[in-house]
Structures are given as structure tokens and as C-alpha cells.
Chains A and B, each alone.
Chain A
Amino acid sequence: MTSHHTTQDSPVSDGPASDGRGRTVAALLWAGHLRLLLIFWAIVVVIFVALGVGQAAFGQLDRSLWEIAGLGAAKYFPFALAIMITPLNLSVYVAHGVTRREFFTGAALFAGLLGLVFAVAFTLGFAVEHLAYTAAGLPEGFTGPHLFTSGGQVHLVLVEAVLTFTAHIASGWLIGSGYYRFGGWLGTLFLVPALVPALGTDVLLGTGWFRAVGTAVGLGQLAMPAGIALSVLLIAAAVAANQPLTRSVAIRRGPTTGQTQWIFP
């Protein structure tokens, strides 16, 4: 501890929830995850560069590598982090005098920030790759369907990235809250509705692997503005659903982190 600040030296606020408590929770959640995120993105960049060097040295560089390294796997990392938001954090915050409502606000801010940071990183990666491929005269060659046809379409890349990442984060958060609220068996059943935001956004935007399922069951492709608007509504509903799930939940007994009692107490 470097500071010797004594909070009693200054007037103490015990006031209502509107004094930025949610922002404090979000800041603490962000600080708690930052090192992990930096390590993750360092690994992604290393893989991206290694793939590029390998492909350039031993094959033909005729497809987007960032599509694989940046989006293909990367969306499952914030998804996994989001699963742990409620089970690993709620009890610690309540133990430190934070209400479930304040925690929800902070977690929602954190989830939004997490999605935005991943989306911006993803977009930047595509922009860099686009510049590099254009300079080298290489085709970007996307394998999956996207809202964009070139990494240089920054606005479309960003929209798809924001919606894809936040949808996966919303689903992950909902899964974790479901297990915390309902326990192992009902929580597992709750996976079905909880996955709707992540998979539904693929269908609504016509992107990602689950789009094929939508096509197979006869769902037609929506116009882009409608798909975007419905995806936003779906994600917002999923985020909001965490509030009724946790607003009166009992704080489970047991060690708070790195344990599984929250699933099968």
C-alpha cells in the first residue's frame, strides 16, 4: 500500500446508489481483468504474426489471417470471462457492502466496455491487415459471411464486431447468472435461452457459423439495418435479464474464487 489516505479524514458519504458506485464496480472489475486481457491479446497478435510469416514463407497468402486469429477464436474468450462475472464476483462485492443492483450496474458497464475494447481491437486488426495486404497486392479473401467485404470498411467492421462480441458477452454473463441462481441442473437447462443472444445475433446479422443453421431452418436474410436493430434489442434484453436473476439471489457460502460450489453447492 503506497497511500496512507484515511477515508475518515474526509466527509463520508453513505448516500444513495447514484454516487457512482456502479462505475467504481466497473473500474474494479476492469482492473481485475486487465492483466489477463493484455496477455490474451499478446497471444493473439503473436499467433497472427506467426501465421502470416508461416503462410508467407511456406504457402500462398491469399486469405485473411485476422479473420481466424481475431474473430474466429477471440469471441469465445470474453464469452468465457463473462460466464464468471456473477459466480466469481457477486459474493465478493456484496461482502464489501455493494448491493446486487449496484453490482449489476457495474457489471453491465464492464461488459459493455469489454465488448467495445474487443471490437475496437478486432477492427484495428482488420484495418492493419487491409493496409498490409493492399500494399502487397494480396487478396483479403474472407471465408465467412460478414457485413463488410473489405477490412477497410471500418464502420461495418466495427458494427459487426461490437454486436458479435457484446452478444457473446451477454450470453456468457447470462449463463453464469443462471447457474448461480438456479444451480447445476436448472442452470444447465437455462443454457438454451442464455445462448440465444450469441447465436441469434449470428442469424440476425447473417454472420458467423450459426447463420447456416438459420438458413437451414428457412430463416431468410434480414436487411442489414433490421438485423442490426434486432441484434441490439436482443443484446439489451439479455443484459437486462441478469437483473431479475440476481436482484434477490442468496449469496452462496464457500470460498469465493476458483471453486465450483456455486454450480453444485
Chain B
Amino acid sequence: MSLSVHLRDLSLRYGETTALDGLSLELAGGKVYGLLGRNGSGKTSLLSVLAARRRASAGTVLVDGEDPFENTRIMRRTCFIRDEVDAYEQTSVRQALRFAARLRPHWDEDYAHHLVDTFKLPVKKKVSALSRGMKSALGITLGLACRAPLTIFDESYLGMDAPSRYAFYDELLSDYAENPRTIILSTHLIEEVNSLFEEIVILDNGRLVLHEEVDTLRARGVSVTGPAEVVDRFTAGLTVLGEQRLGNTKAVTVYERFDDARRRAARAAGLELGAVPVQDLFVHLTRQPEAQR
């Protein structure tokens, strides 16, 4: 019960602004995807097209093999939780959950109860009276309990404190394990969330920068530490993200896939190799001019 996504030359324009520019992407069903990008990179625009909130200006959008726009079968199997909760401000939390239960074919009432307890949601309180974090918790409850085969969270944790966010991540993983589906998480909290992802998609200026398995991406970032002249010689010609120096010892971060032979050569030269955080790689990939990627 999970939906695949196929995009070919997808464009979305708002008047003079091009939000998505010829985007092509394939997402297999049944995985957790991280969607990363700087502000204005087109993440929300892409997710809005997938959730049929907007119609694409050009190109092909297929969810489970069908255009999602005004598609009854796809729309009721897709759930898009934004950074603002989609519920009536003047209704209570309880009423908001009942409303979702009436419209969502896969709604799990017991699981909704469990999430209400987990996030300590005040069910009698009006949505308008909830704090920012509680509104986010309500959105997450709506998103998880509807068990939609394509579930999308777009910065849905805004205002939530760290324990609540980690509770969300735990719930997401455990429920995903029991009820596999396609999940897309758009986030700026890269280091906090990237352990959830199976694959990462990075957008910049409405274009695809990278789509890789998260382990592959992690393997591309390597820190090389050792005597400065040895490090310089070893990293010559490689893509260097940054460097630090202490006396004669130098640490250089490179964006390169290191095969076994290169790793052996580094060790033989007395160099230490280490991992680089995904966030550092993201910053690099969205900062460099496209010609250097």
C-alpha cells in the first residue's frame, strides 16, 4: 500500500516566478524520502503538485501511474501535512479528528487516540487556542493516523519542542515499519532527521540537484586529516568543501567517493579518514555554482 512518483520535465510557474524548472524524478513506492532544499528552492511547490493543491504548468506528474490532479483515487490516498494545520480554527481538536475520520478511508481511530496521548493534545480545546507546537502536533496526528499510501510532511514540526519532535520521529518509524507506505519529509533539520531517510532528494532553484540513497550520499563526504603537506598532496584535484589547520596538522573535507584503493592509499600515507555530516554536504551542494556539481 504505497504509491510511486514519476516526474518528467515538471515545471510550475506563478506569474513571472518559476518555482519548478524541468524537474525529472523517480520515487519508488514504500520508502522514506528526505526532501531538502534552501528556502525558495521549490520543495513546497513540488509537494503541492503531488498533493493536487496546484496543477503543474508543464510536464508529466504521475502518482501510482496517474495524474494526481482532481484524481479521486489518488487524492484520497495522498495526505499532505503542511507547516499550517488544515483544520477549522473554531472547531475543537476532537472535532478536527472526527472530520478527518469521515473523509480518510484508511483512518485508524485507535492510532489517532494513541497519538493524542503521545503528544498530549487537549482534545476539547479549539484549534485556534492551540500553541504553535500543538498545532503542529495536531497536523502530525492527522498525517500519521490517516495512513495514506503517500504521506507528505512539509516542515510539519514547526514550533514543536525537541522531545515532541523525537516522539514524532519514533512514531513515524514504528508506524512505517508496521504499515509501509511512501513518506516524503521536507525539512531543514537535516542532522536531526536524516537517519529516518532511505533516500535524499535535494532541490535548488526548482531543479534537481541530487537524488541518492542516504548511505551513498554519506559515503561521498570524507574528512582527511594528517600532516598538512601530505593532506594537500593527497587531496589535490578533489572537490574540497572546507579545511581547518592546527599547527602542522590539517583537516580537509572533500566531496568525493573514496573506493577501497584510495582509502588504503590514504592510510598508507598516514592520513585519517572520517565521515562528514549530511548537512555539510547539503550546504556545499546548494552553495556551489551548478557548473561545479
Name the A residues within 8 Å of B78 (CB-CB): 97
Name the A residues within 8 Å of B105 (CB-CB): 7, 12-14
Task: Answer whether A97 and B53 are a contact pair too, CB < 8 Å, given A1-B98, A14-B77, A92-B88.
Answer: no
Structural contact, A97 and B54, CB atoms closer than 8 A: no
Which of B28-36, B65-73, B268-276, B283-291 interfaces with chain A? B65-73
Q: Smallest Cβ distance from A244 to chain B, in angstroms?
A: 13
Is the C-beta of A256 less than 8 angstroms from some C-beta in chain B? yes
Interchain CA distance A170-B73 in the complex, whole Å: 30
Structural contact, A96 and B73, CB atoms closer than 8 A: no
How many contacting A-B pairs (Cβ < 8 A)? 113
Structural contact, B53 and A96, CB atoms closer than 8 A: no
Name the A residues within 8 Å of B106 (CB-CB): 7-8, 12
Is the C-beta of B228 less than 8 angstroms from some C-beta in chain A? no
Name the A residues within 8 Å of B261 (CB-CB): none
Partner of B72, one of A16, A93, A96, A258: A16
Task: Answer whether A255 and B77 are a contact pair too, CB < 8 Å, given A1-B113, A7-B106, A7-B108.
Answer: no
Name the A residues within 8 Å of B53 (CB-CB): 94-95, 250-251
Is the C-beta of A91 less than 8 angstroms from some C-beta in chain B? yes
Name the B residues within 8 Å of A16 (CB-CB): 72-73
Partner of A99, one of B71, B77, B87, B100: B71
Name the B residues within 8 Å of A251 (CB-CB): 48, 53-54
B54 nearest CB neighbor, chain A only: A250
Name the B residues within 8 Å of A17 (CB-CB): 72
Structural contact, A7 and B76, CB atoms closer than 8 A: no
From A13, A21, A92, residue with most partner B Cβ within 10 Å: A92
Structural contact, A97 and B110, CB atoms closer than 8 A: no
Is the C-beta of A153 less than 8 angstroms from some C-beta in chain B? no
Structural contact, A99 and B70, CB atoms closer than 8 A: yes
Name the A residues within 8 Å of B140 (CB-CB): none
From A95, A101, A255, residue with most partner B Cβ within 10 Å: A95
Is the C-beta of B148 less than 8 angstroms from some C-beta in chain A? yes
Task: Answer whether A96 and B104 are a contact pair too, CB < 8 Å, given A1-B98, A1-B112, A258-B128.
Answer: yes
Structural contact, B70 and A101, CB atoms closer than 8 A: yes
Q: Considering the complex, which residues of chain A in the window 1-60 have a beta carbon less than 8 Å from any beta carbon of chain B?
A: 1, 3-8, 12-17, 21, 24, 28, 32
Nearest 5 pairs between A and B by C-beta? A95-B86, A97-B76, A251-B53, A96-B103, A257-B89
| A residues in contact (CB < 8 Å) with B | 1, 3-8, 12-17, 21, 24, 28, 32, 88, 91-102, 247-248, 250-251, 253-258
Q: What are 22 A-B residue pairs whose CB atoms fall within 8 Å in the complex?
A: A1-B109, A4-B110, A8-B106, A8-B147, A13-B105, A14-B73, A14-B77, A15-B73, A16-B73, A24-B102, A28-B102, A92-B86, A92-B88, A93-B103, A95-B53, A95-B86, A97-B146, A99-B72, A247-B70, A248-B70, A256-B84, A257-B89
| B residues in contact (CB < 8 Å) with A | 48, 52-55, 69-73, 75-80, 82, 84, 86-91, 94, 97-113, 123, 128, 146-148
